[in-house]
């Protein structure tokens, strides 16, 4: 099993995706690039038609020839929706204090009501 892409390869993947108008590539760790101040990552979550949660990241390039371009926001993100988390040289708690990220307990998941789960009463269930 080989190593994943280097930080520079990840950065080039993100720049290419942003230039092509694509969404952020999934399944790559972006913490190192964000903490180095090279990118900002906005994290979004929403419910879909099957009552499943899905999430995505929108990455903004912060350095180099292509600074200030972003990967495409998926269409399912509500236009006024704020990210539930932002990853850059600051942490999400500082951004919440600045009013740039909503508190985690009040962020909207979707336009519909939240998913309701019924938990079985295991103790009184017939054996």
Dump pLDDT digits (tens) for 8-25.
Answer: 999 999 999 999 999 999
Task: Report the domain count for the chain.
Answer: 1
Q: How many CB atoms lie within 10 A of CB 76?
A: 14
Question: Does residue 59 form part of some domain?
Answer: yes
Q: What pLDDT score does 65 carry?
A: 94
**Range scoring the smallest mean pLDDT among 34-38, 59-63, 71-75, 105-109:** 105-109
Question: Does residue 20 form part of some domain?
Answer: yes
Nearest to 108 by CA among 77, 75, 87: 77
Condensed to tens digits (0 to 9), the pLDDT of residues 63-86 reads 999 999 999 998 888 877 878 778
pTM above 0.95, yes or no: no
Return the higher-pLDDT residue of 75 and 32. 32
How big is the chain by its Cα radius of gyration, in Å? 18
Question: Does residue 125 form part of some domain?
Answer: no
Structural domain for 26, as ranges: 7-113
Task: Find the largest Cα–Cα distance for the chain.
Answer: 66
Distance of CA 86 to the CA centre of its chain: 8
Question: Does residue 118 form part of some domain?
Answer: no
Specify the length of the chain in residues: 127
Residue pointed to by tokens 């979550």: 45
Q: What pLDDT score does 116 carry?
A: 45
Question: Does residue 122 form part of some domain?
Answer: no
Which residues on neighbouring strands pair with residue 43, listed in sequence order? Answer: 57, 85
Residue pointed to by tokens 């079985």: 120
CB environment 47-74: b (16+ within 10 A), e (fewer): beeeeeeeebbbbbbbeeeeeebbbeee
pLDDT band at 122 (very low <50, low <70, confident <90, very high): low
- Please say whether the beta carbons of 23 and 75 come within 8 A: no
């Amino acid at each position: 099993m080989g190593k994943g892409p280097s930080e520079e390869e990840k950065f080039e993947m993100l720049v290419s995706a942003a230039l092509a108008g694509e969404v952020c590539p999934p399944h790559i760790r972006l913490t190192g690039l964000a903490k180095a101040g090279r990118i900002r990552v906005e994290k979004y979550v929403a419910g879909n038609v099957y009552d499943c949660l899905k999430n995505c990241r929108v990455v903004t390039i912060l350095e180099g020839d292509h600074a200030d371009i972003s990967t495409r926001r998926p269409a399912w993100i509500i236009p006024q929706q704020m990210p539930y988390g932002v990853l850059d040289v600051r942490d999400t708690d500082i951004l919440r204090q600045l009013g740039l990220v909503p508190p985690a307990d009040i962020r909207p998941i979707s336009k519909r009501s939240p998913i309701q789960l019924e938990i079985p009463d295991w103790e009184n269930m017939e054996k």
